[in-house]
Chains A and B, each alone.
Chain A
Amino acid sequence: MKQHLQAKDFITIGLYSIIIFIIKSIVNAAMAPLSIVAMPYITGVGMFFSSLVYLLMAIRVGKQGPLLFMGIILGLIYTMMGAPLMLPLFALAGLLAELTLIIGDGTQYRNVTRQAIAYSIFGAIYGFGGVINIYVFGKESLEKMQFSQDTIERMLTYAYSPLWLTISICFSVVMTLIGSYVAKKILQKHFVKAGYIQYQ
C-alpha cells in the first residue's frame, strides 16, 4: 500500500534536514583549511557523520519521499546562500536515490540496508556540488576571485580528472556505508531500546 507524506512527516523532514545541513557545514568549516589537499574527501566525511541523522529520519517517516524533499530543502538553503545550481543537482540526487527504494512491499522504507544504499547514492551525486560550479562557470569564475595560479590548477585537476572524480565518488559511497553501520549500532543502543523507532 502506498502512503503519502502528511504534514507531520514534512515537519520531521524539515527539522532533520536542518540538522544534516548543520553537520555538513561544521565538517566543511573544519576541513576548509585543508581544502586544497582534501577537496575530494569533504563530502565523504560529511556523509559519514550525517548518516545517523538521515537513517533516524527515514525510519521515523517510513514512506516514500524524505530524500527528495531533503534534497530540495538543502538546495533551497544553498540557493539562499549564493549557490543556486545546487537546487537542481540535489533534487536530482534525491530523485535518483528515491528510485532505488521503489521496489519492495512497503517495508523497504524501514530497512536500514536499503536506506543506507539509497543515501550513499544521494551522497555520490551530492559530491558533484563542489565541482559543478567549475563546470558551468568555467575557469573565469575562479580567476575572478583572484586565486593564485597554483590553487586554480589544483581545483581544475580535481574537477576534470576522471581518476579524482572516481576516488571522490567511491570515498563518499564507502564512507556513507560505514557511517550507516555505525549509525545502526547507535540507533540500536539509544533509540530502539527507548521505543522511539522500529526497523526491519
Chain B
Amino acid sequence: MFDARIQFMLLLLCGSLAVFVTNTGAMALAILAIAFVLLQGYFRLAAQWFIFYFIFSALLLLLYTVDGNGILNAALLMLAITSKMLPTLIFASSLAKVPTGRLLSSLQKINVPKSILLTLAVALRFFPVLRSESKLIQENAHIRGISLRQLKNWRKPLLLFEYAIVPLLMRTIRLADDLSAAASTRGIDAPYKKTSHHHIAFRTYDSVACLFFFLLIGTLWI
C-alpha cells in the first residue's frame, strides 16, 4: 500500500490528464491505473477492473466501427465520456481501501483546511452507507407496494420520488446527529492540532508510486 498523499496526488493528476489525452491515451491511463492497483497488492480488485475494462473497450470499439445513427450515437457519447472517467475511478477505488483515519491524517499533513477535510471525509465515507440504506428502504417499500421496482408506481413519478426520498432524509437526519455526537465526544471541536496513531511517512516502496507521475504525464504524447 502506497502513501495516501501520493495516491491522492496521482488521482488529481489522472483526473486533469483525462481531459487532454486521446482515446489511445485514455487506454494507456487505464492500464497504468490497473497496474497501480496491482502493485499495491489488491489482486482481486485489479482482476475485476481488468475484465471490466476489457469488455468495455471491446464494446466501445464495436460501436466505433458501426456507422450509427441517433440512438447509437447517444450511447457512444455516454461510453466515450465514461472511457475518459474510468482511469480516475480505478485510481479512486484503491484510495477507497485506505482507512478513514489514515486518509484524514495524510490530508491534514498537506494542509487541507479542516472544514473542507471533515466535510469531504463524511461525504466520501457515506457513499456506501447511503446505498445500503436506500436498499433497505426499497425492500420495505416493496412490501407496501410503493417501491421503485414496481412498474405501476411510475404513473405518479412525483409521489414515487416522495416515497423514496423522505425515509432516506429521515435516516440521514439521525445519522448526522449520531455522527456529530460521536465526533464531539472524541473532541473534534477542540482547537488543537489533531494527532493520529497512523504513522504517515514516505517509504522506499513509495518511490515506485512516484514513477507513475512521469508515466502518467507521458500518456499525453500517445
Q: Interface residues, chain A, CB within 8 Å of chain B?
A: 5-8, 10-19, 21-23, 32-36, 49, 52-53, 56, 60, 69, 72-73, 76-77, 79-85, 133, 137, 141, 144-148, 150-151, 182, 186, 190-191, 194, 196
Q: List 7 A-B contacts (CB under 8 A).
A: A11-B118, A15-B123, A23-B165, A49-B161, A60-B173, A133-B19, A145-B23
Q: Which residue of B lies closest to A22 (CB)?
A: B130
B18 close to A11 (CB less than 8 A): no
A6 close to B77 (CB less than 8 A): no
Contacts of A146 in B (CB 8 A): 23, 64, 80
Digitize B83-119: 1 where CB-to-A-CB distance is under 8 Å, 0 elsewhere.
Answer: 0110111001000000000000000000000011011
A15 close to B15 (CB less than 8 A): no
Digitize B189-218: 1 where CB-to-A-CB distance is under 8 Å, 0 elsewhere.
Answer: 100000000000000000000000000000
Alpha-carbon gap, A6 to B191, bound state (A): 12
A136 to chain B, nearest CB (A): 9
Alpha-carbon gap, A145 to B189, bound state (A): 48
Contacts of B89 in A (CB 8 A): 81
Contacts of B175 in A (CB 8 A): 15
**Contacts A19-B130, A33-B71 supplied; 11 other A-B pairs, CB < 8 Å:** A7-B180, A11-B119, A11-B176, A14-B126, A15-B175, A19-B169, A32-B77, A52-B169, A82-B15, A182-B158, A194-B170
Tally of contacts, chain A with chain B, CB under 8 A: 149
B217 to chain A, nearest CB (A): 15
Any A CB within 8 A of the CB of B45:
no
Q: How many residues of B contact A (CB 8 A)?
A: 58
Contacts of B59 in A (CB 8 A): none
Contacts of A13 in B (CB 8 A): 119
B122 close to A10 (CB less than 8 A): yes
Interface on chain A toward B: helix, strand, loop, or mixed SS? helix
Residue in A11, A18, A33, A81 whose CB lies within 8 Å of B180: A11
Contacts of B127 in A (CB 8 A): 18
Task: Assess A82 versus B85: contact at CB under 8 Å? Given A6-B189, A14-B121.
Answer: yes
B22 close to A8 (CB less than 8 A): no
Residue in B12, B169, B189 whose CB lies within 8 Å of A7: B189
Q: Which 10 A-B residue pairings sit nearest by Cβ, starting from the closest? A: A14-B122, A8-B180, A82-B18, A14-B119, A14-B123, A82-B88, A7-B188, A18-B123, A10-B118, A82-B15
Alpha-carbon gap, A31 to B166, bound state (A): 23
Residue in A18, A36, A137 whose CB lies within 8 Å of B73: A36
Contacts of A79 in B (CB 8 A): 12, 15
Interface centre among A17, A19, A80 (most CB of B within 10 A): A80
A77 close to B123 (CB less than 8 A): yes
Q: Which residue of A lies closest to B29 (CB)?
A: A82
